Amino acid sequence: MARRRSKKNISKKKGICSDSVSNSYDHATKSCEVISKVLLPEDLMFYILTLVPLDCLINSARYVCKPWAAIIASSFYVQMCESRARSKPGLYVENRTTRSSSYFLEFKDGVNGQFERTNLGIPQEMGDIICTRDGILLLWNFFVNSIFVVNPLLKSWLRIPPFPIFGQHISWRTTRCAIARVPGTIKFKLFFVDIFYISNAFWYVFYMLRIGIDNSWREIARKEYLFQHQPLYNESSDLYWISNKEVIVMDVDKEIILREYPLPQVPSGEDPTYLWMENRLSCIVRKDPHYKTYNIYILDFDSRKWSFYHQMELAFGHKLASFEAFRLWIDDQIIFRATPHQNQLSKILQGIKKMHFCYNVKTKQLIKIEDIDVGDFKVWFHTNSLVSLSSTPP
């Protein structure tokens, strides 16, 4: 009993009231204000907070007091965090059936190693993910024709103005969208391509919108080509648009077309997959009719020519009923989705199961990624970000 009383007395001397949450919070707030405004200069406070782990910032530090919350939410602080590369990369696993159970897998030891799982669900009414960029997701709801950008870590979002032309077949337009980050900033732009039939020719019109700034789309360029694939971003400053005739490179900051490259020579009737591979553009083409062998080509930007890089075999003891899609190229590993063999009864009772695999181009190993659940899931490359968006409910 004496020991308990002494602890209580010490608590009172320090000004901590265990039976009054509001008084404790007020005291903590005043203490933080003294630390941030009197004892420590603002630039030093910024530096100290950049050393705090990201999960602690999100779950604890930003709720301590208003000065800390203001610093963490400021654009300058976010840029400092981004420059220090504090957010580790991983996979955002989208649950296409129940978006609220989507989650983030942070890389601990490569794609084939250990993951740290964090639940990052998003409201179901926001729809399916179209693309991602630096912690920001772009979603589209088919039923209400609404577009959203979401930061799943901060639970903040913003509604995007409708596409320039909302036709009856809007779904194909969602594959012509891309989020890009303006180099050296925390500002994002959304690019979109639509089609016009003018003077007996199809013209594809490029539009751009600055997220959180513009209230309408702005036309920036036109091309008389058919765009067949979702654009790729080189993680630096350029977007790569794949048309039926060539690869078009667009500068994100200046919003202009910089140059054009030829397409690889592929067998007629084949639909190649284009993925960004470190600092190169790759093309994956099916070689046999059974979806087991693929050839990989890479583009040399200096010579403007495609060259053979690797032949990929996907029949390493895994009984796959059908191939789904190549999703990502991370380091030397390609992540793809496939469907294993199921009998008809299992398909009816359990639904079609989809699994994710990882193929290593160096070791030629094919491994199932156990941390990704089996079902209607889709993976995206993702890094958690402190970039804040509007939080007003729809």
Q: Which pLDDT score, from 0 to 100, does residue 105 have?
A: 92
Beta strands in 278-369 (DSSP E): 280-286, 293-300, 305-313, 320-330, 333-340, 355-360, 366-368
Q: Which pLDDT score, from 0 to 100, does residue 224 have?
A: 77
Q: Which pLDDT score, from 0 to 100, does residue 113 have?
A: 59
Q: Which pLDDT score, from 0 to 100, does residue 257 have?
A: 93
Return the sign of the alpha-carbon dihedral for residues 162, 164, 170, 173. Answer: negative
Q: Which pLDDT score, from 0 to 100, does residue 335 have?
A: 93
CA distance 195 to 202: 7
CA distance 138 to 174: 10
Q: Which pLDDT score, from 0 to 100, does residue 137 have?
A: 92
- Show the low-confidence residues of the chain (pLDDT under 70): 1-42, 47, 54-55, 58, 75-87, 109-113, 165-175, 269, 315-323, 341-352, 390-394
CA distance 24 to 263: 65
CA distance 86 to 89: 10
What does the domain layout of the chain look like in residue ranges? 2-83
Cβ-proximal residues to 312 (8 Å cutoff; 6+ apart), any chain: 284, 293, 294, 295, 296, 334, 359, 361
H/E stretch holding 95 reads strand 89-95
Q: Which pLDDT score, from 0 to 100, does residue 169 have?
A: 46
Q: Are 116 and 91 in contact (CB under 8 A)?
A: no
Q: Which pLDDT score, from 0 to 100, does residue 10 have?
A: 36
CA distance 68 to 194: 44
CA distance 131 to 179: 7
Q: Nearest 5°: phi and psi at 176?
A: -110, 25
Q: Which pLDDT score, from 0 to 100, does residue 387 have?
A: 81
Which pTM value belongs to this model? 0.77
CA distance 137 to 381: 11
pLDDT in tens, 295-342: 999 999 999 999 999 999 876 555 555 667 899 998 899 999 987 765
CA distance 18 to 8: 9
Q: Are 311 and 294 in contact (CB under 8 A)?
A: yes
| Angle subtended by helix axes 42-50 and 66-73, to nearest 10 | 70
